[in-house]
Amino acid sequence: MDIGCGDGFFAIPAAEITGKGGRVFAVDADASAISRLNDRAAEKGLSNVTARVEAAEETVFCESCADLVFYSIVLHDFSDPGMVLRNAKRMIKPSGSLVNLDWKKKPSEFGPPVSIRFSEEEAVSLIEAAGFRVESVKDSGQDHYIVVAKP
């Protein structure tokens, strides 16, 4: 599950890795981004991508079916990040993982304003409040961090 997938920067490689035996579900509120994702998937002959134009707060693709629910630098963009994470809890298998890649809460040349970013501690708090157990929080380069959690 690629939640807030944009035009498929991560969903397309995930579909290639997953292969024909797996599925990648992707959602974004931006219809033009989903259109680009679908075009890219078609160009690459990837038939294992299901992309939906919808708010993440309203999205539950399935119950207990996802091996991985992934957020890439978007958790701060949702109007209700708690609801988005609770939806992830519904979709993820008991053996699955939630991964949140996000901006550090510090000034950088790119990215959203620092005022709307979640610190590592804020992200962990939101993820735990949704019923997950955080396994690790690590730096991912100078400007990002990754939180990995289990249901």
The CATH 3.40.50.150 portion of the chain extends over 59-151
Say what the pTM is. 0.93
Model pLDDT for residues 17-39, shown as the tens digit of each residue: 999 999 999 999 999 999 999 99
pLDDT tens figures, 36-58:
999 999 999 999 999 999 999 99
Alpha helices (H) in 19-112, listed in sequence order: 31-43, 81-91
How far lies 5's CA from each of 31, 46, 71, 94, in Å? 11, 16, 8, 23
d(C-alpha 89, C-alpha 125), whole Å: 15
CB 70 within 8 A of CB 1: yes
What tens digit of pLDDT does each residue of 82-131 get?
999 999 999 999 999 999 999 999 999 999 999 999 999 999 999 999 99
Q: How far apart are CA 42 and CA 36, in angstroms?
A: 10
Q: What is the mean pLDDT of residues 55-81?
A: 96
CATH of 59-151, one of 3.30.420.40, 3.40.50.450, 2.40.110.20, 3.40.50.150: 3.40.50.150
